[in-house]
Structure 1
Amino acid sequence: MHSPGKITLVGFDADDTLWQNETFFRLTQARLESLLADFCDSATLHDRLIAAERRNLGHYGYGVKGFTLSMIETAIEVTQGRVSAQVIAEIMAAGREMLEHPIELLPHARAAVEQAAEQFHVVLITKGDLMDQERKLAQSGLGDLFHGVEIVSEKTADTYARLFTRHGARAESALMVGNSLKSDVLPVLAAGGFGVHVPHGLTWELERAEPPAQHPRFFELEDLSGLNSLLGRLVA
């Protein structure tokens, strides 16, 4: 049986929790595959690109800019340095288009944040490029609903514990909502909080993890429409 505590803070992830994100990465990767079709097949390109992203996370962090640099690096690798300046320019253009893409809110996102904000201290906790995340939040129209916004380079148990404390909550009284088990759920549980997984149809390979199904503070929702009811049960 789940053992709720007194929840005072609700954290929301941003990308693929409140608005679409991975969809645009997949579309851009398909564009890269088309550009490099004469040099390698899709499966090989995918493996090379994931390897490049994994290598580069510590240097470039998360987000479109790091992804664009990893695409360029992959293009150089699979063509053995023969990639044309035109293809490089097209990759860079694809990255800029991602940075300019309009925000598409996911179903029930606004209502979920509004309802949570009526009872709890609500904080947006996201990782990635600072400028891009600020742009997306501004375009989303959700910015005024949050009591705080935190854009971090990585989501770890220590990071969450520090952020919860900054916003006046103990980890044991904080709940995090997100699409990534690896970033939004597991480290929060490790810190002592509640983790609510709201799966997105697409999950970046480097964010995949096994659900902690037996953990007493782990919950999974089909979509954000169920969050208000879950919060009601936990504080009842």
Structure 2
Amino acid sequence: MNSEYNDIKVIGFDADDTLWVNETYFREAELEFAKLLSRYETANKIDQELFKMEMKNLLLYGYGVKGFVLSMVEMALELSNNEVSNSTINSILNIGKDMLNKPVELLEGVEEALKTLSNDYRLILVTKGDLLDQERKLKKSGLTDYFHHIEVLSDKQETNYSQLLNHLDIKPSEFLMVGNSLKSDILPLVNIKAKAIHIPFHTTWLHEQVNDDETKDKAYKTLSSLLDLKTLLN
């Protein structure tokens, strides 16, 4: 075992874009939304304004598909000066329903890695977003039995992680977090003296992106897949 991780007893995993595909579906939905509103603005402008609307509504709706859909509806009304048709609103709602009904596509090596790691560590799922949607995806994933604990947080900041670790009686020095988002899965853990491993996904939501100054001198490792995590720890 890599001596750097000798004290690790519990491994936390992010869900979306760490265990299964998620952000890809949001990008596809944004393209469909831009097509629906193309008579009012350019695709680039619609995308920019929708992101602003999501940020404006984040504290009200939280993360997830449902808040995203409400932001699309509000954006459609604003861009059209409240003239958008009922048919278009219905199409926006159907975009959201389609997202919620997507199959769960596991990323490479996920189940194999969880199966192996669960023999030596307590595994917990630490995600954020809409509770019902995350429960649905977890059930469809077939991964539930690998986790000792499942937590859906309203946000992933240092305070959220500290409260969770305290609640589960886990010392930061004994905890390793694995995720695709530097902002949500890596930096908060490094800042509370836990370990973290970054496994990038090919696309990242603008809200989750960080600059080089934020990651400078931060102690975390980057791997290409969960299969590499097995190798690193074993």
Structure 1 length as normaliser, TM-score? Answer: 0.94
Deviation at residue 215 of structure 1 after TM alignment: 2.4
What amino acid does structure 2 have at the position aligned with 1:100? Answer: N
1:161 touches 1:170 (CA, 8 Å); kept in 2?
Answer: no
Distance 1:117 1:104, change over 3 A: same
Q: Corresponding residue for 2:222? A: 220
| Cα displacement (A) at 1:210 | 3.3
1:192 corresponding residue in structure 2: 193
1:165 aligns with 2:203: no
Structure 1 gap ranges (5+): none
2:110 corresponds to: 109
Matched residue, 1:142: 143
Structure 1 contact 181–207 (Cα < 8 Å) conserved: yes
In 1, Cα distance between equivalents of 2:191 and 2:230: 24
User: 1:151-201 CA distances to partner (integer Å, 9 max, x unpaired)?
Assistant: 110011121122123333101211100000010001111111011110000
Q: Give the conservation status (yes or no) of the 8 Å contact 2:5–2:233.
A: no
**Does the aligned pair in 1 maintain the 2:187–2:218 contact within 8 Å?**
no
- Counterpart of 1:37 in 2: which secondary structure? coil
Q: Deviations over 1:119-141 (max 9, x none)?
A: 11100000000000000000000
Identical aligned residues as a percent: 40
Q: Gapped runs of 5+ residues in structure 2? A: none
Separation (CA, whole Å) in 2 of partners of 1:157 and 1:231 = 25
Residues in 2 aligned to 1:174 and 1:42: alpha-carbon distance in whole angstroms: 43
> Deviation per CA, 1:185-236, whole angstroms, max 9, x where unpaired?
01111111011110000100101113625323x010011110112223xxxx
Partner residue in 2 for 1:229: 231
Tell me, in whole angstroms, the C-alpha distance in 2 between the residues paired with 1:210 and 1:224: 24
Name the TM-score, length of structure 2 as normaliser: 0.95
Q: Aligned Cα RMSD in Å?
A: 1.4
Distance 2:133 2:169 in 1: 27
The count of aligned residue pairs is 230
Q: Any idea what the Cα deviations from partners look like across 1:25-71, whole Å, max 9, x if unmatched?
A: 11111111111111100110011000000011100000000000011
User: CA separation in 2, counterparts of 1:202 and 1:48?
Assistant: 19
